Amino acid sequence: MSESQKPLCYDAIGSIIESMSINKRVEIYLKCPTIRKLERRVPLYIEHLEFDDYRIKLDDFEYKVLHLNVEQGIQDINTFGTECVEMDSVLTPGDIDFAYYITKIWMQSCLVLRPDGTYRYGDEIEGDQGPRDHWTQVTITTPAGKTFQRTPYDRPLFHAMKHLGTLFFANRESPIKVGFLDIKTGVTIRLPVDVKFKVNHILVNFIMSYYAYLTEQILDPESIPFKRVTYSNLEDLDHSYVRNAKEHVYDDNCQIRPSLEPLGEHRNLIIIVRENPTTLHHYLSIVHSWVENGKEIGCRLQMECPLEITRDAMFNTLQNEYPQEEVNTKWECVGCVFAEPKWEVQYCYRITYGNSESRSVRGRNSEETEMLKEY
Question: Can you give the pLDDT at residue 125?
Answer: 46
Does residue 362 form part of some domain?
A: yes
Question: Can you give the pLDDT at residue 328?
Answer: 42
Question: Can you give the pLDDT at residue 352?
Answer: 36
Q: What is the pLDDT of residues 189-231, one digit of tens each?
A: 999 999 999 999 999 988 898 899 999 999 999 999 999 999 8
Given pLDDT bands bounded at 50, 70 and 90, which one contains residue 297?
A: low
Given pLDDT bands bounded at 50, 70 and 90, which one contains residue 91?
A: confident
Total tally of structural domains belonging to the chain = 2
Given pLDDT bands bounded at 50, 70 and 90, which one contains residue 87?
A: low
Given pLDDT bands bounded at 50, 70 and 90, which one contains residue 235?
A: confident
Which long-range contacts does 52-56 make (Cβ < 8 Å, 24+ apart)? Answer: 52/184, 52/187, 53/184, 53/186, 53/187, 54/157, 54/161, 56/161, 56/164, 56/165, 56/168
Provide, rounded to the nearest whole percent, the portion of the chain with pLDDT above 70.
51
3-state SS, residue 14: helix
The one-character DSSP state at 157 is T
Q: What is the pLDDT of residues 136-151, one digit of tens each?
A: 888 899 999 999 888 8
3 pLDDT higher than 50 = yes
DSSP of 62-99, one letter per residue?
EEEEEEE-SS-EES-B-TTSSB-GGGGG---TT-EES-
Gap between the Cα atoms of 275 and 282, Å rounded: 10
Which are the contacts of 24, defined by CB distance < 8 A and separation ≥ 6?
A: none
132 pLDDT higher than 90 = no
**Whether 290 contacts 283, CB under 8 Å:** no
Question: Can you give the pLDDT at residue 116?
Answer: 56
358 pLDDT higher than 80 = no
Supply the range of the domain harboring residue 17: 1-42
Does residue 203 form part of some domain?
A: no
Does residue 161 form part of some domain?
A: no
Q: Count the neighbouring beta carbons within 10 Å of the beta carbon of residue 119.
A: 12
241 pLDDT higher than 70 = yes
Q: Where is pLDDT greater, at 47 or 104?
A: 47
Question: Can you give the pLDDT at residue 250?
Answer: 81
Question: Can you give the pLDDT at residue 40?
Answer: 92
Task: Give me the chain's average pLDDT, please.
Answer: 71
Length of the chain as a residue count = 375
Given pLDDT bands bounded at 50, 70 and 90, which one contains residue 253?
A: low
372 pLDDT higher than 70 = no
Does residue 115 form part of some domain?
A: no
**Whether 176 contacts 197, CB under 8 Å:** yes
Does residue 263 form part of some domain?
A: yes
- The separation between the first and the last C-alpha atoms of the chain, rounded to the nearest angstrom, is 61
Question: Can you give the pLDDT at residue 265?
Answer: 63
Question: Can you give the pLDDT at residue 154?
Answer: 80
Does residue 33 form part of some domain?
A: yes
Mean pLDDT in residue range 325-331? 41
3-state SS, residue 186: coil
369 pLDDT higher than 70 = no
Question: Can you give the pLDDT at residue 169?
Answer: 95
Q: Where is pLDDT greater, at 60 or 135?
A: 60
Q: What share of the chain is helix, strand, coil (3-state, %, to 5)?
A: 35, 25, 40
Backbone angles phi, psi at 38, to 5 degrees: -65, -40
- Reported as type and span, the H/E element at residue 270 is strand 269-274
Does residue 216 form part of some domain?
A: no
Question: Can you give the pLDDT at residue 364?
Answer: 44
Question: Can you give the pLDDT at residue 238?
Answer: 84
DSSP of 281-314, one letter per residue?
HHHHHHHHHHHHTT----SEEEEEPPTTS-HHHH
3-state SS, residue 12: helix
If you average pLDDT over each of 190-199, 266-275, 320-329, which comes out highest?
Answer: 190-199
Mean pLDDT in residue range 240-268? 72
Angle between helix axes 280-292 and 311-321 (nearest 10 degrees) is 40
Q: Where is pLDDT greater, at 27 or 178?
A: 178
Does residue 275 form part of some domain?
A: yes
Gap between the Cα atoms of 362 and 302, Å rounded: 13
Q: What is the pLDDT of residues 16-63, one digit of tens each?
A: 888 898 889 988 888 988 888 999 999 999 999 999 988 999 999 999
Given pLDDT bands bounded at 50, 70 and 90, which one contains residue 95?
A: very high
Question: Can you give the pLDDT at residue 171?
Answer: 93
Gap between the Cα atoms of 147 and 327, Å rounded: 52
